[in-house]
């Protein structure tokens, strides 16, 4: 199969990080890729051999094995591989072969090296892969309970083979678990029905017990993906029941493995970028909980998980802006759509509403304002359809207050800084987390810089912002316990967002004001504050460690809820943690309380 350059170019535009490259750079790179047609079973490269370049799977499947020959991953289209060898010492650190007839794009090593030195986004993406922060996409490291089918279809021993076949047909499945007194007795597959019933001509009334595989191989929910891969390859089977304490709790099939591998932020981003309606996008964003489970279960750090999830929201917003312009016509003046809140900080989890605003060019007239009101409604309605629900506080571009020209935004910030009353403190806290999403970014550059400078010079404003940041306190109780919510729907839980993550977000914002730091992401703010001397080295390390623990506890809690079939939330009962986990979580809250005390007393640093 040959691929013309224009087709390669279209493909690259749908794959990150190539989609972030400038148009002329991408045009040049598209011509550098070599097209390779690899037959099923054919090796691509082997462990220890020199690497020819970076591979990108256009079509097919590629199996990755480690240096010992153990399966590591099964890759689908739009997955890159081989970069770890290129980055380390130009020798392959894995072995790969085509698991199906495949079409690969290979970027020669010299061109890869050039992009790594000249394109920061490209280098950052593959540096993160080198550091294994994206290892959650590897099936081998994820527990079976995160990707197994949790409601396996069953039938009793006396079921006829015809009834079994009809059940599999109706349920669109390829296997049935056979149970006896609620215990797994066997398994029958479509292959069994073909080879053991149809081929020998057994009657349709034959009990399934006669053709099933008795006492099949099983695994526990705590097994990991490599256990499944090894078992399937060793025993040449495609279905493995999952049993816990003698009870059937799930089943894993080859389809489950493929589906699990197929859920990636890049795939979701690509699908959203091609969607023509908000309803189409909603079908894609509905996969976010499953993506979160995959990423967290694979051991990805919280800042990677939230960044990847936020990228999906950013893409949905930009796509909706394009669709709005296609519907309403070109904008009469330049505009910029910005996100604030968790999307602005690139910290979205499985629970997110929308916080956004519009900055318009000062040339806008009153007669042109209705266009932007319609654009804001189109995009906000679309985001709501996608599951990013309307902001309860109406902090959205649909509110005329937050859809204004640059000069009005300057007046807003000047007023909040000059007169920091409670509303001004609240609004400034939100607006200092603004991040451009789509439109003319130059509308924000000067405004952002000038506001940081003015805020830093006004010690009274900073003092009020410090006071406002101390309103959210860690849930520390007496006698080394937690102060849980005492009543209502979330009784006996702690709010890992409002009393866990938010206090650190507030501290990070204060450090950014004090140091005139342009970073918006909380963890990046803490790192920058430490580097700028706003935060001491020891205080920075302690606070970042505390933040990491709380943020990852929050994500793990959301994973548990999603796996249980519940909607993710931020309210965790401390009783679900072990004594060891509770002790460390409480220590993290103590660090935050100590840092709040330091900031509140005007020291700002923890030595």
- State pLDDT tens for residues 484-539: 999 999 999 999 999 999 999 999 999 998 888 888 999 989 999 998 899 988 88
Over range 385-395, report the average pLDDT.
Answer: 92
Q: State residue 268's pLDDT score.
A: 84
User: Distance from CA of residue 75 to its chain's centroid?
Assistant: 18
Cα–Cα distance, 65 to 73 (Å, whole number) = 7
| Burial bucket for residue 313 (CB in 10 Å: 0-12, 13-18, 19+) | buried
For residue 193 the two structure tokens come to: 């029905």
CATH top-level class for 5-135?
mainly beta
Cα–Cα separations (whole angstroms), residue 195 to 174, 201, 214, 235, 591: 14, 10, 16, 18, 65
Closest Cα to residue 465, out of 517, 505, 426?
Answer: 426
- Residue 57 φ/ψ, nearest 5 degrees: -80, 115
Domain boundaries of the chain, sorted by first residue: 5-135, 144-260, 263-466, 470-600
At 358, which helix (H) or strand (E)? strand 356-360
Q: State residue 478's pLDDT score.
A: 64
CATH numeric code, 263-466: 3.30.460.10
- Residue 247 φ/ψ, nearest 5 degrees: -105, 135
User: Could you tell me which residue, 527 or 16, shows the higher pLDDT?
Assistant: 527
Cα–Cα distance, 67 to 294 (Å, whole number) = 25
Over range 556-576, report the average pLDDT.
Answer: 91
pLDDT > 80? residue 75 = no
At 186, which helix (H) or strand (E)? strand 183-189
Q: State residue 207's pLDDT score.
A: 95
Task: Report whether 35 contacts 105 (CB < 8 A).
Answer: yes
Cα–Cα distance, 531 to 535 (Å, whole number) = 8
Exposure pattern of 67-89 as b/e (b: 16+ CB <10 Å)? eeeebbbbbbbbbbbbbbbbbee
Cα–Cα separations (whole angstroms), residue 28 to 12, 107, 124, 264, 576: 12, 12, 20, 27, 54
pLDDT > 90? residue 421 = no
CB atoms within 10 A of CB 100: 15
Question: Average pLDDT over the chain, rounded to whole?
Answer: 87
Over range 361-390, report the average pLDDT.
Answer: 96
Over range 559-572, report the average pLDDT.
Answer: 90
At 495, which helix (H) or strand (E)? strand 494-495
Lowest mean pLDDT among 65-69, 224-228, 309-313: 65-69
Q: State residue 133's pLDDT score.
A: 34
For residue 540 the two structure tokens come to: 């920075």
pLDDT > 70? residue 304 = yes
Q: State residue 605's pLDDT score.
A: 45
Q: What is the pLDDT of residues 36-48, one digit of tens each?
A: 999 999 999 998 8
pLDDT > 70? residue 26 = yes
| Burial bucket for residue 458 (CB in 10 Å: 0-12, 13-18, 19+) | middle
Q: What is the pLDDT of residues 107-154, one digit of tens each?
A: 999 999 888 888 877 886 776 433 333 333 456 667 788 788 888 999
Question: Binning pLDDT at 50, 70 and 90, where does residue 78 land?
Answer: confident
Over range 399-426, report the average pLDDT.
Answer: 91
pLDDT > 50? residue 479 = yes
Q: What is the pLDDT of residues 157-171, one digit of tens each?
A: 999 999 999 999 998
Q: State residue 119's pLDDT score.
A: 81
Q: What's the fold here for domain 144-260?
A: CBS-domain (3.10.580)
């Amino acid at each position: 199969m040959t691929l013309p350059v224009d087709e390669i170019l279209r493909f690259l535009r749908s794959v990150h990080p190539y989609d972030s490259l400038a148009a002329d750079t991408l045009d040049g790179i598209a011509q550098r890729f070599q097209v390779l047609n690899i037959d099923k079973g054919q090796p691509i490269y082997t462990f220890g051999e020199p690497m020819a370049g970076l591979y990108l799977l256009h079509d097919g499947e590629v199996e990755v094995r480690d240096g010992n020959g153990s399966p590591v991953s099964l890759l689908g289209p739009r997955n890159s591989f081989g970069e770890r060898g290129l980055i380390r010492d130009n020798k392959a650190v894995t072995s790969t072969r085509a698991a199906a007839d495949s079409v690969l794009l290979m970027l020669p090593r010299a061109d890869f090296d050039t992009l790594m030195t000249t394109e920061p986004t490209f280098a950052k993406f593959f540096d993160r892969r080198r550091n294994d922060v994206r290892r959650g996409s590897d099936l081998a490291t994820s527990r079976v309970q995160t990707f197994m089918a949790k409601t396996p279809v069953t039938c009793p021993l006396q079921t006829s083979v015809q009834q079994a076949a009809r059940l599999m047909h109706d349920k669109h499945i390829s296997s049935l678990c056979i149970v006896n007194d609620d215990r797994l007795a066997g398994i029958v597959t479509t292959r069994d029905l073909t080879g053991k019933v149809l081929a020998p001509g057994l009657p349709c009334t034959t009990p399934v017990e006669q053709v099933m595989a008795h006492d099949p191989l099983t695994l526990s929910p705590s097994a990991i993906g490599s256990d499944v891969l090894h078992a399937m390859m060793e025993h040449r089977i495609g279905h493995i029941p999952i049993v816990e304490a003698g009870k059937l709790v799930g089943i894993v099939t080859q389809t489950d493995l493929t589906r699990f591998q197929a859920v990636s932020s890049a795939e979701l981003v690509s699908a959203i970028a091609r969607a023509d309606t908000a309803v189409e996008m909603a079908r894609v964003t509905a996969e976010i909980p499953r993506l979160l489970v995959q990423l967290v279960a694979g051991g990805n750090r919280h800042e990677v998980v939230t960044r990847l999830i936020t990228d999906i929201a950013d893409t949905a917003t930009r796509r909706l802006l394009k669709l709005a312009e296609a519907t309403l016509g070109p904008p009469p003046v330049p505009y910029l759509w910005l996100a604030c809140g968790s999307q602005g900080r690139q910290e979205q989890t499985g629970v997110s509403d929308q916080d956004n605003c519009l900055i318009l060019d000062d040339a806008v007239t009153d007669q042109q304002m209705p266009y932007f009101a319609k654009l804001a409604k189109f995009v906000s309605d679309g985001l709501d359809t996608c599951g990013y629900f309307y902001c309860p506080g109406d902090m959205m571009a649909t509110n005329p207050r937050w859809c204004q020209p640059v000069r009005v935004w300057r007046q807003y910030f000047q007023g909040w800084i000059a007169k920091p009353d409670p509303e001004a403190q609240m609004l400034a806290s939100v607006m200092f987390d603004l991040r451009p999403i789509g439109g003319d970014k130059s509308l924000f550059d000067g405004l952002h810089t000038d506001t940081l400078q003015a805020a830093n010079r006004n010690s009274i404003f900073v003092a009020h912002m410090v006071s406002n940041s101390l309103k959210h306190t860690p849930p520390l109780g007496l006698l080394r316990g937690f102060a849980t919510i005492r009543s209502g729907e979330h009784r006996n839980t702690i709010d890992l967002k409002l009393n866990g993550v938010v206090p650190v977000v507030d501290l990070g914002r204060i450090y950014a004001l004090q140091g005139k730091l342009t970073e918006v992401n909380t963890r990046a703010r803490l790192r920058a504050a430490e580097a700028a001397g706003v935060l001491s080295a020891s205080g920075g390390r302690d606070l970042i460690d505390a933040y990491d623990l709380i943020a990852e506890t929050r994500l793990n809690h959301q994973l548990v809820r999603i796996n249980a079939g519940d909607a993710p939330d931020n309210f965790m009962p401390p009783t679900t943690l072990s004594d060891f986990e509770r002790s460390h979580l409480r220590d993290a809250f103590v660090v935050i309380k100590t840092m709040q005390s330091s900031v509140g007393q005007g020291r700002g640093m923890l030595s």
